[in-house]
Amino acid sequence: MYKAVLFDMDGTVLNTLGDLADGMNYSLRHFNMPEREERELKTFLGKGPAYFVRRSVAEGTPEDLCRQVQDFYEEYYDAHCQIKTAPYPGIRELMKRLKNMGIKLAVISNKQEPAVKVLAERHFPGLLELAVGTGPSIPCKPDPSAVLSAMERMGVRREESVYVGDMDVDLNTAKNAGIDCIGVAWGFMGREKLESLGASTIADTAEELGDIILESK
């Protein structure tokens, strides 16, 4: 059985799409740029706020203006990240189940760290050992640095750990960190796409995810 489970946040443990889309469109309006449909913004997620902004802004936007939009977006989103966001069905129960079995839990996200910590504390109080987002000294996934650092801080080895996520970046993060990965079908990418990317293990529900984790090894 694994000793540690490291979760992605957006699209894995929390459905954050509504607040992310609202935050981005508010920022685009502020800079007099065209808004985007939520379904389009969904395809820009997973690689951190800088990527999200660059894909969302008007084509040809200069780099310095992209930086201004990102700063504005991050400040706005940090203050408005809890309006529509909620855990996926069964996630809190899953975390309690795993924690009761003595498994250490963490969230490693490409979302900016202030919002990660706010959301983790609101939705999963007392359940997580760590909640880590990106920042000046924390590179975005699929760079494995945040995952490897979290494992070291939790005192677990690669073979004792598993990463759980919903997107290609999560599969690649686990691969780069040298740990197992479980995909979730309910997230932003979906089962079919994950399978096409080579995901070998995919859970359709939180309960099934728990069974896979507890029955491992």
Q: What is the CATH number of the domain that holds 110?
A: 3.40.50.1000
Q: In the predicted model, what is the mean pLDDT of the chain? A: 96
143 and 55 share a domain?
no
pLDDT in tens, 7-26: 999 999 999 999 999 999 99
- Here the CATH number for the domain that contains residue 69 is 1.10.150.240
147 and 201 share a domain?
yes
72 and 137 share a domain?
no
Nearest residue to 28 (alpha-carbon basis) of 9, 15, 41, 14: 41
Mean pLDDT of 182-200: 96
pLDDT in tens, 93-142: 999 999 999 999 999 999 999 999 999 999 999 999 999 999 888 899 99
The least confident of 74-78, 185-189, 196-200, 213-217 is 213-217
What's the pLDDT score for residue 149?
Answer: 96
Q: Are 74 and 49 in contact (CB under 8 A)?
A: yes
Domain that holds residue 209: 4-15+86-215
- The percentage of the chain sitting over the pLDDT mark of 70, rounded to a whole number, equals 100
126 and 202 share a domain?
yes
Last residue of a domain, one of 61, 79, 97: 79
65 and 159 share a domain?
no
96 and 190 share a domain?
yes
Q: Which residues, in sequence order, are bridge partners of residue 132? A: 108
Q: Per the structure block, which two tokens stand in for 142?
A: 């699929």
pLDDT at residue 81 is higher than 90: yes
Number of independent structural domains in the chain: 2
pLDDT at residue 217 is higher than 80: no
Amino acid at 59: E
179: exposed, middle or buried (C-beta count within 10 Å: 0-12, 13-18, 19+)?
buried
74 and 168 share a domain?
no
Nearest residue to 35 (alpha-carbon basis) of 73, 63, 75: 73
What's the pLDDT score for residue 136?
Answer: 86
